[in-house]
Structure 1
Amino acid sequence: MPREGLSDRVAALRERRAAAHRVRVRRTVLRRDGVRCEVIGEDGAPRWLLDFCGNDYLGLSQQFAVTGALQDLAAREGAGGIASHLVCGHHAAHEALEREVADWLGVPAALLFGSGYAANLAVLQALLGKDDVCVQDRLNHASLIDGARLAGCALRRYPHANAEGALRQLRAAPDGAALLATDGVFSMDGDVAPLRQLALVARAQCATLYVDEAHAAGVLGEDGRGSIDEAGLDAGAVPLRLVTLGKALGGYGAVVAGDAGLVRHLAETARPYIYTTALPPALAAASLAAVRLARRDHWRREKLAALVQRFREGAQRHGLPLLPSDTPIQPLPCGDEARALAMAASLERKGCWVAAIRPPTVPEGGARLRITLSAAHAEADVDRLLDALAASRDATL
């Protein structure tokens, strides 16, 4: 029997995705102006849309101090990271950012990575091996799941936000080292992990608790320190955490922060850290400016929280069944993929850009509109979206 050709396999898989309404298409953004984007439409013509699907929660990506820091250092130091951190790529801008993040979070040490995905791979690969176990929430980000696979450890998953389930999984794997990993805020549901209960479970089972704060840092907690701070926990309870720089902080990259010994071990052994070029210093300078603004500008979080409340109250008036979330991530369940796509297309015709999220990003039957809010939005923007959502819902019933 002849060997299957990869081109034939890929074509067949795409046909299957198309039949299930799961083909993914990139959209090209020509320009951004705050929360407005000029986007190439399906007809090839550009049009301006209100962006309700990005992760720029604090509106820092175009803030003048942030972009100014990037431009200034790029003009002096160039555009690239030149080499890996352990060769000659570690710049003073990287060092300053790591120290600022560690101080912000109240932890001993921090380590800069090129992306949150790479950082999660690094943490799990460097800390776990084939005789160990990683226990994870069923709705964790894909990078945490892939990190466990890369590590070669046993991967056990518990029902979403179920601390008792985490306890059962840890008890079932008593040998070797154990890492309990969870998102702080879940990227597709917008809810917050039960961190206090998970910290108790980790302590009782001698496991290390690792929290991915990608969608919480900058948004939750005192001075935006994240869901760990919001839960009243410290570095003793959560020895390692991930903070991404490309969401509420408006830049690119990620920082793993926490116990100094663990962070040093990552710097010396984590393959996604050792074998890649360092982040461009100019991007680190931009993120340093953004962290300082996030710490200082409490009004950004206050405005964002008020917009979230306004949106949820308006959704209730319109009879829009949102998932329970008090974060900037506000999912609207649609049931099936076809309806999610139809509603997203209807919203776009009304000038609002909202992403239709489909399996496998979410569980089967969980297709939804993932609506995200930013401190850069105005109340009028939220009201316009609510009216557009109600009209699109009615048009697709």
Structure 2
Amino acid sequence: MPVSKAWRERLTNARDTRQCAQQWRARRIKQPGQLDFAGNDYLGLAKDPRVQAAQVEGARRFGAGAGASHLVNGHLAVHEALEEALAAWTGRERALLFSTGYMANLGVLQALAGTDTAIFHDRLNHASLLDGSALSGARSRRYHHNDIDDLTRLMTRSGCACKLVVSDGIFSMDGDVADIAALARVSQQHNAWLMIDDAHGLGVTGANGSGCVGPHWGSQQVPILVGTLGKALGTAGAFVAGDSLLIDHLIQFARSYVYTTAQPPGVATATLEALTIVQREPEHRERLERHIDYFRKEALRLNLPLGKSRTPIQPLCLKSESRLLLWAERLHHAGIDVGAIRPPTVPKCESRLRVTLSASHSRSDIDQLLETLNTCRREVP
């Protein structure tokens, strides 16, 4: 069989299998005027005129791109200033910028772990954390979601000297929060390091929006903190925060940091402005909290299949892929975008609409969403 034919058959079979399972993903071009309940711009800063102006000014001063990796000559003064600001915000000694959250998680786990390391993952951790473990070659075990007893059992059985516990701070598909205190306690009992990916917590929770792992959590309790800049801060990129020993190690050994072009300086400048807004203007978080309370109260009144989340991520579990797709299509035609999440992103029979709330929404926006969801509930049971 010709090689090209074998490859075409391989790709065709993969496509057909996923389409038959109603799990085929399709991209839609985001249209002006659509109500966005699918994105992660939790504080509405992506369209804040101050953040936009800062990005333009940063590009004007430093150029459209950094021009090289951080270790060649792409590390600019604005990158250094942003790293210092992020370290201060999260109460850590230092911070290190990465181009994306996915690259940050790959880089940390690849740089720290190896075949002599045991990594313990919450079963619902983000794909980038699981992929980072696979890349490292470490022995990886997954404990039941938010189950400290199961984690303790697995760690007790491990004979590895270097253990690493890894968890999302806020879980991206369910919106629930990890028990950071219990994870820190168990990790210390077993001489393990704890790594928290607080992508969905930073800017949304904690003092000054410092997230699930703010300054009150020291580097001894949570040695590795990962955060993204493209969610509540409204820009793009990510960072890792910790002590100098950790950051120096990542600069030398994290391949996704060493071998990639530095973040565009306009993005770094915009992020500095967004960070200032988050810390000085708590009203954005307060408005978001009111939206969460209102949506949950009304969704429960309408008997929608609402999860237990108290965060901006509000899942509606519809279970079947076909029902989910019908609801999502109805919403889209009504001018509302909501994430339609199916396996393999979530477990089988746990397909759901992932509603995400933002401070930029109005009460009437939320009412329109609730009215359309209620129509779906009545007409597409």
Aligned position for 1:223:
208
1:181-330 matches, within 5 Å, as: 181-229=166-214, 233-330=217-314
Deviations 1:69-110, CA, capped at 9 Å, x for gaps: 110111122111211100100000100000000011111000
Q: Which one-letter code corresponds to 2:171 in the other structure?
A: F
Deviations 1:224-266, CA, capped at 9 Å, x for gaps: 1111239x53332101101100000000000100122101110
- Structure 1 residue matching 2:187: 3-state secondary structure: helix
Runs of at least 5 residues in structure 2 that lack an aligned partner in the other structure:
none
1:110 aligns with 2:95: yes
Q: Which one-letter code corresponds to 2:218 in the other structure?
A: D
1:86 aligns with 2:71: yes
Deviations 1:147-192, CA, capped at 9 Å, x for gaps: 0001000010000011111111211212231110000000000000
- Structure 2 residue matching 1:248: 3-state secondary structure: coil
Aligned position for 2:378:
394
How many positions carry a matched residue from both structures? 380
Greater alpha carbon shift after TM alignment, 221-230 vs 238-247: 221-230
Aligned position for 1:131:
116
Q: Distance in 2 between matches of 1:235 and 1:313?
A: 38
Aligned position for 1:18:
19
Aligned position for 1:43:
none
Q: Which one-letter code corresponds to 1:175 in the other structure?
A: C
- Structure 2 residue matching 1:354: 3-state secondary structure: strand
1:347 aligns with 2:348: no
Q: Which one-letter code corresponds to 1:304 in the other structure?
A: L
Q: Which one-letter code corresponds to 1:226 in the other structure?
A: G
Q: Distance in 1 between matches of 2:369 and 2:218?
A: 38
1:46-195 matches, within 5 Å, as: 48-195=33-180
- Structure 1 residue matching 2:213: 3-state secondary structure: helix
Does the 8 Å contact 1:178/1:206 carry over to 2? yes
Residue 358 of structure 1, aligned match among 324, 338, 342: 342
Does the 8 Å contact 2:326/2:380 carry over to 1? yes
Deviations 1:302-349, CA, capped at 9 Å, x for gaps: 000100000000001100121110000000001111111110001112
**Cα root mean square deviation, aligned:** 1.3
Does the 8 Å contact 1:122/1:272 carry over to 2? yes
Residue 368 of structure 1, aligned match among 352, 358, 364: 352
Runs of at least 5 residues in structure 1 that lack an aligned partner in the other structure:
30-36, 39-47
Q: Distance in 1 between matches of 2:362 and 2:10?
A: 47
Cα deviation for residue 396 of structure 1 reads 1.1
Does the 8 Å contact 2:305/2:318 carry over to 1? no
Does the 8 Å contact 1:209/1:238 carry over to 2? yes
Q: Distance in 2 between matches of 1:289 and 1:370?
A: 29
Aligned position for 1:334:
318
Q: Distance in 2 between matches of 1:179 and 1:161?
A: 16
Provide TM-score, normalisation by structure 2: 0.97
Cα deviation for residue 380 of structure 1 reads 1.0
Cα deviation for residue 2 of structure 1 reads 7.5
Q: Distance in 2 between matches of 1:388 and 1:88?
A: 52
- Structure 1 residue matching 2:95: 3-state secondary structure: strand
Q: Distance in 1 between matches of 2:7 and 2:297?
A: 50
Q: Which one-letter code corresponds to 1:236 in the other structure?
A: Q
Q: Distance in 2 between matches of 1:295 and 1:167?
A: 37
Q: Distance in 2 between matches of 1:353 and 1:7?
A: 34
Q: Distance in 1 between matches of 2:73 and 2:259?
A: 13
Does the 8 Å contact 1:196/1:233 carry over to 2? no
Greater alpha carbon shift after TM alignment, 188-197 vs 4-13: 4-13
- Structure 1 residue matching 2:46: 3-state secondary structure: coil
Q: Distance in 1 between matches of 2:322 and 2:10?
A: 24
